Structure 1
């Protein structure tokens, strides 16, 4: 396909003076992302609640989001190849369909098996939208602007979650599960924006190809599996840091309605957790561009460990009457760490993988993100079923500390070798 676009289209998209959310293609991408993640945000706590309502225990409740994330990860491994023959428009619209329709189907679900099957379908849609979204940001913006761009994208991801994740358990409790599940069909409203965003991203690719003297879309120049493996080896430090923090996020969003007996406190804790994550992911973008994303990884792990320890102490009743305040403080700290790590680890992944391997970096980052979320839901559910939620969150706190120590030691060894 020969481009009919002017090379100036690519230059306009790289305009450093324009705010990232005003770049061509970004408004539609952000709108689609908001609707897509709205459905995901509702179902993350509501689907496990539905499983419990049908008689499932803590393990089965955790299994719902674990199945979701397993399907997500398996899909993420093939999204980049799939999009080469489906195109941006079809793949983004399909993601919205697969995220929205299962929520309507779950209104009629009557068995745990049906809930798990629908979670798997949602996972396919979520796998498409997560890899495609971060790949789109990596494609639309040059390295020196990605911190702010990822921050803007993160606001779209978190915007609907800020409202719907904390309030959806309350909606299910007060208005009934069918109402909450109907709200979870919001990704269907994102289909028109998905089509528009897909067109804009494809246009950008053609314009960039024309600017570089080529014809057709720009393709990833990775030529051999060996080169891909080399990129993956360089990615493991930010991927490790992201995974342990998303384990904590998966545990909080899945089980807060179970380990917090008060419905109002559940809403407040989830709202502040999500708000802190949204603000941190946006706010850290500029400093990460100026100072380097690597500087924020270890502090993020330390903040997560402190917040998880506070939640564990609150659940255990160590703080007595101050337990609710301790829970809120812990939720804010973990949310801050979660949002920070979402931004800086993605920026870092693009950095260490190299410009030639942005697709590999996007896929690996999204797989780690969702693997951590699923592992957190499944492992904490299994551990809590045999022990307690307090011990489970204490174990997560220790895991964050261990990961931070390991990365600190690796960093010191790398600096020593460079001298």
Structure 2
């Protein structure tokens, strides 16, 4: 049999039925979730909740999601992708519907913890399913297109949720969010694909840490942690920064950032497949630094938009490239654990960003100074990846670029 040429490999389809359905399910789930991000804290505040309780609404969800992901990843590799996915989506839908019947803040906090469990299960599952579906030689491109469903939801869902809440009230937000979660569950029933071989039971059971975490994904997850801390500082404090800088509408940042991410992800995905991670990660890190610095000096909506465009190039390049690289480094039977490790780093980074960068802003009295300080994390990103890349080129470190 003649060897398969590179041209033949490139002809493997990406836009399959399974790819489209999985992306649609992810879009519906993220839209449902993003509608609640600005509306649930507002609802808790209207119920008489303090600032601490409003913060707990976000914190409890993040903690439960973070704790769930390693176990979800392990379950994906042992029990199969679809079982874990459907259970996670069902938990999300039922919990969102349950918010309507909770007038006490304590009950809402308990529900948020359960919702975080479902979120951790479902998003880790979808990320693993899409990694199984995408042809290996088009992994960067495929993850880039798949990530557009997240970006689209991040750009439109919060504004949609706020508009529905102001026009029709919070119960209508919950109704629509529940319907979207149920549609995500329904569409996931039709996902079909060739499943990877399950994990084989070894004579000597692996250590607990190896059951829950994937060692091959630790490096890209550590790099993601650096970028997620920066992003956590942006989403948490951008409104307060706008007040400090005299910018009335900081929504332009999210709109311009999301628009650039939509444009850049397909391009960097193809570049990742053809040239490798270094061609995406180094430029993406530099654009992220430029975007953060421009943001810190922004004093008008125009300068804010320019900073968002630069940051969008960096953010839109780094996250899907790191995820594609994580999948490439893991064995097919360990993709669940790899995705669990990867997404845990993202959750942890956003939480750390809100706390650590918030402490810097408090001590310095300046959100602009906080954003300048956050560029140090991206410099660390460049140094870590640059050292590993250089050692690999010298042959002194096993640093697979599959």
Equivalent positions of 1:244-259 (< 5 A) are 244-259=226-241
Q: CA deviation at 1:111?
A: 5.0
Query: Following the alignment from structure 1 to structure 2, what is the Cα–Cα distance between the partners of residues 87 and 174?
Result: 43
Q: CA deviation at 1:78?
A: 1.2
Contact 2:89 2:185 in 1 (8 A): yes
Contact 2:77 2:199 in 1 (8 A): no
1:138 and 2:116 correspond:
no
Query: Following the alignment from structure 2 to structure 1, what is the Cα–Cα distance between the partners of residues 229 and 332?
Result: 28
1:28 and 2:21 correspond:
yes
Q: CA deviation at 1:345?
A: 0.4
Which of 217, 229, 236 is equivalent to 1:235? 217
Residues 359-368 or 84-93, more deviating: 84-93
Query: Following the alignment from structure 1 to structure 2, what is the Cα–Cα distance between the partners of residues 141 and 102?
Result: 31
Hey, what does 1:344 align to over in structure 2?
321
Equivalent positions of 1:19-418 (< 5 A) are 19-21=13-15, 23-53=16-46, 54-57=48-51, 61-83=54-76, 87-173=80-166, 175-185=168-178, 186-197=180-191, 200-201=192-193, 204-205=194-195, 218-221=197-200, 223=202, 225=206, 228=210, 232-260=214-242, 265-314=249-298, 319=299, 323-355=300-332, 357-381=334-358, 383-384=360-361, 387-418=365-396
- Structure 2: which 5+ runs fail to align? 1-7, 398-402
- Structure 1: which 5+ runs fail to align? 1-13, 206-216
Q: CA deviation at 1:292?
A: 0.6
CA, structure 1 residues 222+398, in 2 after alignment: closer, same or farther (shift >3 Å)? Answer: farther
Q: Name the SS for the 2:199 alignment partner.
A: coil
Contact 1:62 1:377 in 2 (8 A): no
When normalised by structure 1's length, the TM-score is: 0.78
Query: Following the alignment from structure 2 to structure 1, what is the Cα–Cα distance between the partners of residues 233 and 49?
Result: 20
Q: Deviations over 1:202-230 (max 9, x none)?
A: xx22xxxxxxxxxxx6113584536949x
Q: CA deviation at 1:33?
A: 1.0
When normalised by structure 2's length, the TM-score is: 0.81
Query: Following the alignment from structure 2 to structure 1, what is the Cα–Cα distance between the partners of residues 375 and 232?
Result: 14
Contact 2:292 2:375 in 1 (8 A): yes
Contact 1:170 1:267 in 2 (8 A): no
Q: Name the SS for the 2:197 alignment partner.
A: coil
The root-mean-square deviation of aligned C-alpha atoms, in Å, is 3.3
Contact 2:38 2:162 in 1 (8 A): yes
Q: CA deviation at 1:41?
A: 1.6
Query: Following the alignment from structure 2 to structure 1, what is the Cα–Cα distance between the partners of residues 128 and 355?
Result: 28
Q: Name the SS for the 1:284 alignment partner.
A: helix
